Amino acid sequence: MVTNSVDLRSEDGRFDVMAAACPTRQVIGRVGDKWSLLVLYALSTGTKRFSQLRTDVEGISQKMLTQTLRALERDGLVHRHAYPTIPPKVEYKLTPLGDSLEDAIAVVRKWAYIHMDEITASRGNYDQQPGAADAG
């Protein structure tokens, strides 16, 4: 068990996000991933086909979108429905579990919008410091 000045364990004590072996770290890794967040944002407006998601999430490759959708489906956040048609038609939508993340990810998006100018300024200041290029 990790010793923290703040108790970050779940109410029932089963999970502690600060512990290396805690499975909640995988969940945080999934929903905190850039592409996962963007796909979840895109699906928050409704059911979409693969090609529409690719258009909505600018910059994502076909391979990365496929991997992201599979991971979100595995975690129960996205439902994939394949219609038995030729050519194949596949649609994706949020599950109730995925939909339950909508408020949380909206907070992250809004926070980024509000603080982007501060972050940009901070990056500029940091990058001008001697040795900043070596700090990465």
Residues 48-74: tens digit of each pLDDT = 999 999 999 999 999 999 999 999 999
Judge whether 78 and 95 are in contact, CB under 8 Å.
yes
Does residue 94 register a pLDDT over 70? yes
Q: What is the topology classification, in CATH, of domain 24-129?
A: Arc Repressor Mutant, subunit A (1.10.10)
**Mean per-residue pLDDT, 17-33:** 86
pTM over 0.85: no
Q: Give the Cα separation of 39 and 31 in Å (integer).
A: 10
Per-domain boundaries in the chain = 24-129
Does residue 33 register a pLDDT over 60? yes
Contacts with 71 (C-beta within 8 Å, 6 or more apart), sequence order: 30, 36
Q: Give the Cα separation of 69 and 76 in Å (integer).
A: 10
Q: Give the Cα separation of 57 and 68 in Å (integer).
A: 12
